[in-house]
Amino acid sequence: MANHLDSFFAALADPTRRAVIERLTDGPAPVSELHEPHDMALPSFLKHIARLEDAGLVSSEKHGRIRTVRIEAAPLAEAEDWLARQRRVWEGRTDRLQALAEALDRRPQ
């Protein structure tokens, strides 16, 4: 699981790749549409798509000359589960810290 999370977060570390994922939440899209808003050469953009595919975040298939990319939900769900566990841990820690601070405030000076 750690390796999946590592590749997930590494893939999303780039703003171009995050923008692609954000666009794909609206549905599958051809590479040409995904590339359009980005000011880079197509071969450079395709490296971003490949990085997302390697991380399992997207898949693509080619029909004729058109390659369509779609988001893959499983890695997103895995990361969401991990983040939820981390949130619970840290909320518990901050709750305990708050209780300690309140107890210290109530102590006679």
Backbone angles phi, psi at 29, to 5 degrees: -150, 150
Instruction: Note the pLDDT of residue 102.
Output: 78
Tokens of 79: 């990361």
CA neighbours within 13 Å on the CB side: how many for 97? 6
Tokens of 109: 């000076």
Q: Give the pLDDT confidence of 4-15 residue by residue, as tens digits.
A: 788 888 999 999
Residue keyed to tokens 């991990």: 82
pTM for this one? 0.73
Q: Give the pLDDT confidence of 65-105 residue by residue, as tens digits.
A: 999 999 998 888 888 888 888 888 787 777 777 777 777 77
CA distance to 23, 38, 91, 93, 95, per residue, from 103 (Å): 48, 54, 18, 15, 12
Instruction: Note the pLDDT of residue 107.
Output: 78
- CATH number, domain of 15, equals 1.10.10.10
Residue keyed to tokens 């050469």: 41
Instruction: Note the pLDDT of residue 1.
Output: 52
Distance between CA atoms of 73 and 84, rounded to whole angstroms? 16
What is the residue range of 14's domain?
2-106
Count structural domains, the chain: 1
Quick one: pLDDT band at residue 63, thresholds 50, 70, 90? very high
Tokens of 46: 């395709």
Instruction: Note the pLDDT of residue 32.
Output: 96
Q: Give the pLDDT confidence of 19-60 residue by residue, as tens digits.
A: 999 999 999 999 999 999 999 999 999 999 999 999 999 999
